[in-house]
Every structure is written in structure tokens, then in C-alpha cells.
Amino acid sequence: GAVVSQHPSWVICKSGTSVKIECRSLDFQATTMFWYRQFPKQSLMLMATSNEGSKATYEQGVEKDKFLINHASLTLSTLTVTSAHPEDSSFYICSANRNRLAPYNEQFFGPGTRLTVL
């Protein structure tokens, strides 16, 4: 159990286009999902917290108008990179908590989406 999927697994797009990445919890409901970004040879950086039915919370330095997050259901969150540029090329990873009320914070991660902007 506790499987998180992402689609697509990789995408190549032209500069200026928008790209949507989906994150799904396949066998549990997630009121909260998280989006991370990872540049080559670096660690994961939390971008935003996606809350079902409400606005996402963005980390400092992350442009909310550029990285649009929608969490329309308990099993799906989407990240849209608007007007993508080469510097947005990165590995985007989502995660979800199965039990938001648990005292510990075990998160289940998706396999990641490799975005390359030409």
C-alpha cells in the first residue's frame, strides 16, 4: 500500500510553454501533498504544500504564479509550470502523507518527473 504515482515521468518542452505534472495517491486519500524540486547533484527542496480544497502554501522564493498547484480531490494534485524556461529544468517530485494525524511524518514519494526545457 501507500503508492504515489506521477505523470508524466519525463517531459521535454519548448521555452515559453506550460507543463502540467500530475501526482496521485493510488491507494489512500491525502489531504496534503507536497511538491519538491531537485537540481542535478543537489538535494530535494520543498517548493509548496498542496492542500485539498484550499490554496497551496509556497516556500519562500517559489513564485506562486509560475508554479500553479491544484489539489482538487483527495487523490490528485497537479503542478503546472507556466511559461517554462531552461532554468526550470529539474526533477520534480511529489509526496503525500497517508495519516496526517500521525505524530511522525512518514511521507510517500512519487517516482519523480524529469522536466527539460529547451
Partner 1 sequence: DAKTTQPNSMESNEEEPVHLPCNHSTISGTDYIHWYRQLPSQGPEYVIHGLTSNVNNRMASLAIAEDRKSSTLILHRATLRDAAVYYCICRGSGGGADGLTFGKGTHLIIQP
For residue 106, state whether it binds partner 1 (rule: CB under 8 A).
Answer: yes
In single-letter form, the type of residue at position 30 comes to A
CA-nearest of 53, 83, 78 to 68 is 78
Q: Which of 34, 53, 63, 116 binds partner 1 (CB under 8 A)?
A: 34
Closer by beta carbon to partner 1, 32 or else 70: 32
Residue with Cβ nearer partner 1 (9 or 15): 9
Told to check if 93 binds partner 1 by CB under 8 A, we report yes
Residues in Cβ contact with 30 at an 8 Å cutoff, skipping those fewer than 6 apart = 52, 74, 75, 77, 96, 97, 98, 100
Tell me the site size for partner 1, rule CB under 8 A: 31
Give yes or no for a cis peptide into 8 (omega within 30° of 0).
yes
Which residue, 14 or 54, has its beta carbon nearer to partner 1?
Answer: 54
User: What is the DSSP-derived secondary structure letter of residue 88?
Assistant: G
Residue 104 binds partner 1, judged by CB under 8 A: yes
